[in-house]
Structure 1
Amino acid sequence: MHIAFHQLPPDARVWIYQANRSLTDAEMTATLPALARFAEEWTSHGRSLLASAGFRHQQFLVVGLNEGVAGASGCSIDASVRFVAQLEQQLGVELLEKSRLAFLPAGTVQVMTRTELKAAIAAGALTANTPYFDNTIATKGELDTEWPRPAGQTWLARYFGQEEKNPQLA
């Protein structure tokens, strides 16, 4: 069953897929019916899932699931990955590639490799306070409150020498 994303509870599970380039308004608008249809038809062991999907920052596809109604199974997660792969083909973007990192310096999403990350830090282009999109977050509550968050408060702290200041990250 499709639900508006904002109606998902804070403990709803989320999956974030990062595009390798910014999506245009036309691309996102053209894809919205497919996202709604996927959420409407998504099932787990024959049970309808209460789900939603949408784009954030023109760079991220976010799929949300209210597991309080019905949880995702391995097969249903596989179905969602197949759907994302179809979107990749349709939009001509990479969404399943996980090696790139995304930051939000000066309000614009910037995607880079780890090698580029080190160079950007050395050049002072990225700091511990630069917002970072940690796409490993698991819930809508985290999405709403901690995404993005300062890079120095994430697993990237070691790149900024922050692990001494925040022992939870060491």
Structure 2
Amino acid sequence: MNVAFDQLPTHARVWIYQASRPLTEAEIKATLPTLARFAEEWTSHGRSLLASAEFRHQQFLVVGLDEGVAGASGCSIDASVRFVAQLEQQLGVDLLEKSRLAFLQAGTVQVLTRPELKMAIAAATLTPDTSYFDNTIATKGELDTTWPRPAGQTWLARYFGQQEKNQQPA
């Protein structure tokens, strides 16, 4: 059962898929019926799921599910991954590749590999205050309140701690 994303409760489960490039407004608009159809038809053991899907920041597909109505099963999660793989084909982007990290700088999403991350921290172009999209968050409440959030408040804090230690005099 498709519902508007903002109508999902804060405890709704979310999955975030990061595109390998920003999507155009036209691409996003063209996928809206497909997203709505997926959410409408998504089921778990024959039960309709109360779900929604949308793009945020032109780079992130967010799928939300109110598990208070019906929870996702292994089969329904597999179906959602197949759906995302189909979107990859349709849009010509990677959505399932998880190794790149995304930051928000000057209103623009910047995607980095881990080696690029280390270089950006060393060059001070990324700081603990740089907004980071932690795509491992689990609920809509987290999505609404802590996504993105300062990198220094995420698992990336250790990278900044290591950098600070390297700059301290011996």
TM-score (norm 2): 0.95
What is the SS of the residue equivalent to 1:83? helix
Cα offset, 1:55, TM superposition? 0.2
Number of aligned positions between the proteins: 163
SS in 2 for 1:155: coil
The alignment-based identity, stated in percent, is 85
**Partner residue in 2 for 1:31:** 31
Moved over 6 A (4+): none
d(CA) in 2 for partners of 1:103, 1:81: 24
Unaligned runs of 5+ in 2: 163-170
What is the alpha-carbon distance in structure 2 between the residues aligned to residue 49 and residue 84 of structure 1?
Answer: 17
Aligned to 2:86: 86
Which residue of structure 2 lines up, in the alignment, with residue 76 of structure 1? 76
Shift of 1:106: 1.2
Structure 1: 5+ residue stretches without partners: 163-170
Larger radius of gyration: 2
SS at match of 1:110: strand
Partners of 1:123 and 1:19 lie apart in 2 by 26
Q: Match of 1:129, as an amino acid?
A: D
Q: Secondary structure at 1:14's aligned position in 2?
A: strand
- CA distance in 1 between counterparts of 2:128 and 2:160 reads 6
Q: Deviations over 1:119-147 (max 9, x none)?
A: 01111110000000000000000000000
Instruction: Give the aligned partner of residue 168 of structure 1.
Output: none
Say if 2:114 is the partner of 1:114: yes
The residue aligned with 1:8 is: 8
Task: Give the aligned CA root-mean-square deviation in angstroms.
Answer: 1.1
1:107 Cα deviation (Å)?
1.2
What corresponds to 1:143 in structure 2?
143
